[in-house]
Chain A
Amino acid sequence: MQGLAPPPVAVPRTLPEALAALSAAGDGAAPLAGGTWIMRAPIRHEAHAPAYVALGRIAELRRIDVADDEVAIGAAVTHAELAKALSPFSDLAALAAAAAGSANPAVRNAATIGGNLCARGFPAADLVPALLCLDAVVEIAEAAAPAGSRRLPVEAFLADPAATGGGRIVTRIVLKRSGLRSVHVRLPLRKAGDYPVAIVSAAIGVGGGGRVESARIAVGSVEAAPRRWTGLEGAINGERLDPARIAALAASLAPEFSGRDGVEAPGWYRVRVLPTLVGRAIAALAAAA
């Protein structure tokens, strides 16, 4: 930080220009989306990257394409744009709610889906558990392979520290439309305006008998990184959408989480509230069914 020159910012208009600018800027250069995470680096006592390439003026990264079978979201789409575009679709309700409820309105006008995915070290990101439960795929472009994008399931993307950096740019997030209803339940400490201390996102399919046939459940903010709750997914298979019953199952399985202690909340609390959040999620799905 101290003594380093302030980082330059390139503002390209196309993806190839951006990739070229990123590789030209050299090691450590990074994409800059809404800026709401990167601009707070000084508050976190972190150094800025030596150079940035802004993505906000690249039209193709700002598109949302909703088709019957899949939805493709440009990485530079803001939370506000995402919430608005997805609001009609019940299968994408988890992502729409995550985008509509995160942070505050002005930050939602700036912060992007790509930025949320790439803000490593930010365990309370709202969109990430929603993307996990919706089985999202992340597309990544790099100058070395300008023609073909690399595609990674979001779980693999999160697990791979090398998925970003090194001249790569997350370009799109693609969701298969499963037709399952989805839901996003977050728990801020105040009514709103906080980062949630725990998040449950779920996409659940219910068969003709009113019993769960498929479930994808993701938990955010509880541990250092969001993850799927496969134990609960298996346990509720065949169950009715009974909030109390499923919350009780969640309570029995919650010890598999090791909550992160933070200044805002202790680890035990994040785990302790999970059954309540699962119950709320199931209640919301049952009400919508």
Chain B
Amino acid sequence: MMQVTLLVNGEERRLSAEPLTPLLDVLRDTLHLTGAKPVCREGFCGACMVLLDGAPAVACLTPVALADGRSVETVEGLGTAETPSPVQRALEEHEAVQCGMCFPGMVVTLTHLTRPGNCAPTRDAVKAGLVGNLCRCTGYERIVDAALAVMEDGR
């Protein structure tokens, strides 16, 4: 076991874990942040996406040892029921949600993509940015519409 310090959604959390434990399991099982979903556990689906020092990371393939001392933002830190983020609000307004399992990861990726300079405001660019976020229900297009709307508002 190793002692690990994570800055989780702005709060310092100290815990002990086997160093190769996926960050995903630490978030869910130890910190009860169940927003990030274990779906494929091989870095393809993006349902466990978090921001690690501000950059998207698949928490399933991130050993907690490599997250030690770093900032981890999860979907829970990006917005709440009372104060959803612009990305969350846009997805809601575009009626993008179906089963919802992919959306925590979608929200994290789109939060990064819609920050200035990270993605051109075009359908193709947004779709390229979503290569690592799969959705089985929606057929994606409304998610892209929502992302473009956020970029449009942010300009």
A and B touch in the complex (CB under 8 A): yes
Residues of A within 8 A of B (CB): 6-9, 11, 32, 35-36, 39-40, 43, 48, 52, 54, 56, 80, 103-107, 109-110, 192-193
- Smallest CB-CB separation from A104: which chain B residue? B132
Contact sample, A vs B, 25 pairs, CB 8 Å cutoff: A7-B19, A7-B20, A9-B2, A9-B63, A32-B63, A35-B63, A35-B66, A36-B58, A39-B60, A39-B62, A40-B61, A43-B41, A52-B19, A54-B65, A54-B66, A104-B46, A105-B129, A105-B131, A106-B46, A106-B49, A106-B57, A107-B43, A107-B58, A109-B52, A110-B57
Give the residue of B22, B109, B132 whose beta carbon is less than 8 angstroms from that of A107: B132
Whether A109 contacts B42 by the Cβ 8 Å rule is: no
Chain B contacts of A43 at CB under 8 A?
A: 41-42
Count chain A CB atoms within 10 A of each CB in B20, B21, B60 and give the residue with the most.
Answer: B20
Give the residue of A7, A35, A193 whose beta carbon is less than 8 angstroms from that of B132: A193
Whether A106 contacts B43 by the Cβ 8 Å rule is: yes
Chain B contacts of A109 at CB under 8 A?
A: 52, 55-57
Bound Cα distance from A178 to B107, whole angstroms = 44
Q: Is B18 an interface residue (CB 8 A)?
A: yes
- Interface size, chain B (Cβ < 8 Å): 29
Whether B42 contacts A40 by the Cβ 8 Å rule is: yes
Q: Is B76 an interface residue (CB 8 A)?
A: no
Minimum C-beta distance from B49 to chain A (A) = 6
Chain B contacts of A32 at CB under 8 A?
A: 63, 66
Bound Cα distance from A11 to B109, whole angstroms = 28
Bound Cα distance from A104 to B129, whole angstroms = 8
Chain A contacts of B81 at CB under 8 A?
A: none
